[in-house]
Structure 1
Amino acid sequence: MTRVLHVLDHSLPLHSGYTFRTRAILKAQQAAGIEVRGVTGMRHAAEGPASEDIDGLAFRRTPGAASGPVGLREWREIGALARTVEQIAREWRPDVIHAHSPALCGMAAARAARALDLPLVYEIRAFWEDAAVGNGTSRDGSVKYRLTRELENRAIAASDAVVTICQGLRGDLMTRGVAAEKITVMPNGVDLTLFGAPPPRDEGLARDLDIGEGPVIGFIGSFYDYEGLDDLIDAMPALVRSHPEARLLLVGGGPMEAALKARSEASSAAHAIRFTGRVPHSEVERYYSLCQVMAYPRKRSRLTDLVTPLKPLEAMVQGRIVAASDVGGHRELVTDGLTGVLFPADDPVACAARLAALLDSRAYWDAMRQAGQAHVAAYHDWARNIHRYQDIYQVLVGAAHRGRTRAAA
């Protein structure tokens, strides 16, 4: 039985897209007969013991906190995580080390893999320098941006195989000179065992929110600038003129929350927009139940053109109609007119027109829902896609074994 040690930035019990993808990968690998463990770096912020089991998954934590100026602090983080990875690997003896972005994890895993002569897989979920620009914590071309990109390139060079979540990231890596045969695309996926039948409308919650009878366009997630929620708010006056009962439900929070609320209050469609704030993950399905359409109006940027999000796939599984901007990450997930609809990015007028046309075309909604669910089941089901990891591991473990045999001869 293959043993795989996953090196992670953070994990459960924290809730994020990162931790949910990690959980899905590790649970699917367990179900496929692979032994897995996880180790997190210093940025795992949840309190807890040094070793803990969560949802049947074993995690080890890296203790302490790094200090010092930018660059030195990250170097210390890498060193501490590398020591933890090496310690666990000597105890547990994995066959493969599988590191997940950011590059701090990749570099730490590379140190440990070299010391122990183990094969290394490095998985890139996004380029974190671009994510930092999208989140407003860095600037394109800044020292921090260039440093993060250089660390990423070094982690890639040190790995035996690279995994990305979409074709956009794969194409960018190839422009950097990474060989195509070194890269495997492992699409964002959904653990279908977590989803039952789409929930019925929660009438009590609808009354509490004074949401009316619909139609309801929803967004559930983090309020970052790149998500384009300002464009969605700006689209509402035109949409309400053609569909007076339409409502917009914004569930979540984040850096743009105050600005978005102010924008909504100044809108002529303020009466049609509802903010709920953040809600517990266990309550999310209740809010999905109120929405007929889930909207993802991401702005066009390097981040959104290269990276595929997870939320549209979850919405399809929930039997919701997906309306999304035509950035590259969405075009990999949504076939316009079949599994959802696309509208021009950064254009509230076009967004309103597309949503209005969608609300006028309800006769096609059942077919669109079925097509979306079938698409996820065929291409984004972790139980199916997990076999791509097994293929990578088998090749690397076989090559490592042959190398050791030759060295011992």
Structure 2
Amino acid sequence: MVGDDRIRVAMPHGPAPVDRDGVSDYVAHLVRALDDVGVTVTPVPLRPADRAPLRWLTATARAAERVRRLGVDLVHVQFAPSAYRFSGLPGLLPFRLPGTVPLVTTVHEYGSWAVPSWLPGPLWSLLERARLWDRETGRLVPASAAVVVTNDGHDVAVRARTGTPTVRVPLAPNVTDRPDGSTAGRRLRAEIGLPAGAPLLVFFGFVHPVKGIRHLIGALPALRREHPELRLLVAGGFTSQALPEAEARAFRDELTALTHRHGVADAVTFTGYLPPERASAALHAADVVVLPFTAGVTLKSGALLAALAHGRPTVVTVPDDGGDGLHRSGAVAVVPERRDSDALAGTVGRVLADPALRRRLAERGRTLAAGYAWPRVATAHRDLYRRLLGRHDG
């Protein structure tokens, strides 16, 4: 598609750079992928002035003004409470947008937050069923012509609360595989001084208390009794929208102290944020990727999809509800308990001890991840935009 056939979209999102916010990273990938299928996207970050009174209200108004000046065909807001530092004011954005332009909202986090938090649940339900206000997104979900969700949990929550129809568009890997990945992985293993044949565990993604790194460090003493040269690479940044700099620094210090307390300080490397090519190398370097999230891992994790797309045997924790298709796919090894270092050590140890299991996990993981690719994500978005704008394929 060229020229006037291209769809023009404004995409408001949180202000953080890609190295501090998963949604901003998602937007960067999506913008590139949409360009390939005939959609021109202008990202519109809501940037509040530091320490200014009502800074998020001002940022929302300025973003709306920029959208109006762009003269786009459609507005697509990327929403996550953490991306806006848990301010409810970006939920006012629809009041300032042109009413003749369709609005789409993607909810990346949904189901566990409300602003104001003191409002009684029955009153929230009344407002939501009337499509007047949503406890998490303000006017965004009620005013949207379509609400995009990335997973079953958000789909169920949006429909139950608001009765709003949703469009399911799964995520895609947040790091894509590279042709020289295996070579880069071997180089990285040499850089960190890993002895030949020594097993390497890799955690990949933003480092946050809910990611279960404490429990993974706690599993290392038991694992090292069987594999004395085993190492852990924690590949990801600490500072994010969900974990501001001072809190991130304190958490890194806590984890460092924990490695000393468990006697494994020599076995753990914290890389900080890695650019895509280095992140891909870290994944290729892994013998096993371990994602021990304290709430369980589902297919809404871009880090998980990246690990599977790189053909890495991957260990995950299971959510309270027993998980989704991921946990029954045979594409991952599932830890039966969360927040449990012994359970982690048992599952990871089983994978390390069984080369045939590692090969099977790698093969099934690649197959599963093949269905979650950016061209598919972009095509689903483009088709949604066409339907909302009344355009025909061709």
Distance 1:22 1:110, change over 3 A: farther
In structure 2, how many angstroms separate the alpha carbons of the residues matched to 1:95 and 1:128? 30
TM-score relative to the length of structure 1: 0.76
Alignment check: 8 A CA contact 1:9 1:105 kept: no
- Tell me by how many angstroms 1:245 deviates: 3.1
In structure 1, how many angstroms separate the alpha carbons of the residues matched to 2:205 and 2:176? 22
In structure 1, how many angstroms separate the alpha carbons of the residues matched to 2:265 and 2:19? 34
Distance 1:192 1:333, change over 3 A: farther
In structure 2, how many angstroms separate the alpha carbons of the residues matched to 1:177 and 1:96? 22
- Tell me by how many angstroms 1:243 deviates: 2.7
In the alignment, what sits opposite 2:280?
285
In the alignment, what sits opposite 2:387?
395
In structure 2, how many angstroms separate the alpha carbons of the residues matched to 1:202 and 1:353? 26
Mapping for residues 157-176 of structure 1, pairs under 5 Å:
157-176=142-161
In the alignment, what sits opposite 2:217?
233
Distance 1:389 1:280, change over 3 A: closer
User: What RMSD over aligned residues (CA atoms) do the two structures have, in Å?
Assistant: 3.2
In the alignment, what sits opposite 1:259?
254
In the alignment, what sits opposite 2:230?
246
Distance 1:383 1:223, change over 3 A: same
Work out which of the residue numbers 171, 179, 202 in structure 2 matches 1:188: 171
- Tell me by how many angstroms 1:259 deviates: 0.5
In the alignment, what sits opposite 2:243?
none
One-letter amino acid of the counterpart of residue 310, structure 1 = G
- Tell me by how many angstroms 1:293 deviates: 0.9
| Deviates further, 264-273 or 316-325 | 264-273
| Deviates further, 31-40 or 194-203 | 194-203
In the alignment, what sits opposite 1:27?
32
In the alignment, what sits opposite 1:406?
none
In the alignment, what sits opposite 1:120?
103
Mapping for residues 6-405 of structure 1, pairs under 5 Å:
6-10=11-15, 16-43=21-48, 67-68=52-53, 72-89=54-71, 94-102=72-80, 104-105=89-90, 107-109=92-94, 111-114=96-99, 117-127=100-110, 141=117, 150=135, 152-179=137-164, 182-190=165-173, 195-196=178-179, 198-200=181-183, 202-212=185-195, 213-254=197-238, 255=248, 256-300=251-295, 308-327=300-319, 331-332=323-324, 334-336=326-328, 338-343=330-335, 344-378=337-371, 380-398=372-390
Alignment check: 8 A CA contact 1:334 1:341 kept: no
Percent identity between matched residues is 22
In structure 2, how many angstroms separate the alpha carbons of the residues matched to 1:264 and 1:96? 50
Alignment check: 8 A CA contact 1:6 1:36 kept: yes
Q: Which runs of 5+ in 1 are unaligned?
A: 44-63, 133-137, 400-409
Alignment check: 8 A CA contact 1:305 1:329 kept: no
Distance 1:127 1:247, change over 3 A: same
Q: Which runs of 5+ in 2 are unaligned?
A: 81-87, 125-132, 239-247
In structure 1, how many angstroms separate the alpha carbons of the residues matched to 2:299 and 2:138? 18
- Tell me by how many angstroms 1:368 deviates: 2.0
Alignment check: 8 A CA contact 1:216 1:291 kept: yes
In structure 1, how many angstroms separate the alpha carbons of the residues matched to 2:210 and 2:134? 20
- Tell me by how many angstroms 1:248 deviates: 1.4
TM-score relative to the length of structure 2: 0.79
Alignment check: 8 A CA contact 1:252 1:279 kept: yes
Helix, strand or coil at the partner of 2:210: helix
Distance 1:161 1:280, change over 3 A: closer
Once the two structures are superposed, what CA deviation does each residue of 1:358-403 show, in whole Å capped at 9, x if it has no partner? 112211322321221121112x11212323223322232129xxxx
Distance 1:201 1:12, change over 3 A: closer
Distance 1:80 1:178, change over 3 A: same
In structure 2, how many angstroms separate the alpha carbons of the residues matched to 1:363 and 1:206? 22
- Tell me by how many angstroms 1:141 deviates: 4.8
| Deviates further, 286-295 or 200-209 | 200-209
- Tell me by how many angstroms 1:349 deviates: 0.9
In structure 1, how many angstroms separate the alpha carbons of the residues matched to 2:328 and 2:292? 14
Once the two structures are superposed, what CA deviation does each residue of 1:158-201 show, in whole Å capped at 9, x if it has no partner? 1111011111111111221333xx21111111389763364236
In structure 2, how many angstroms separate the alpha carbons of the residues matched to 1:278 and 1:40? 21
Once the two structures are superposed, what CA deviation does each residue of 1:62-95 show, in whole Å capped at 9, x if it has no partner? xx55722xxx443232222212211222xxxx22
Alignment check: 8 A CA contact 1:99 1:106 kept: no
Alignment check: 8 A CA contact 2:35 2:41 kept: yes
In the alignment, what sits opposite 1:46?
none
Alignment check: 8 A CA contact 1:164 1:186 kept: yes
- Tell me by how many angstroms 1:152 deviates: 0.8
Helix, strand or coil at the partner of 2:269: strand
- Tell me by how many angstroms 1:5 deviates: 1.8
In the alignment, what sits opposite 2:129?
none
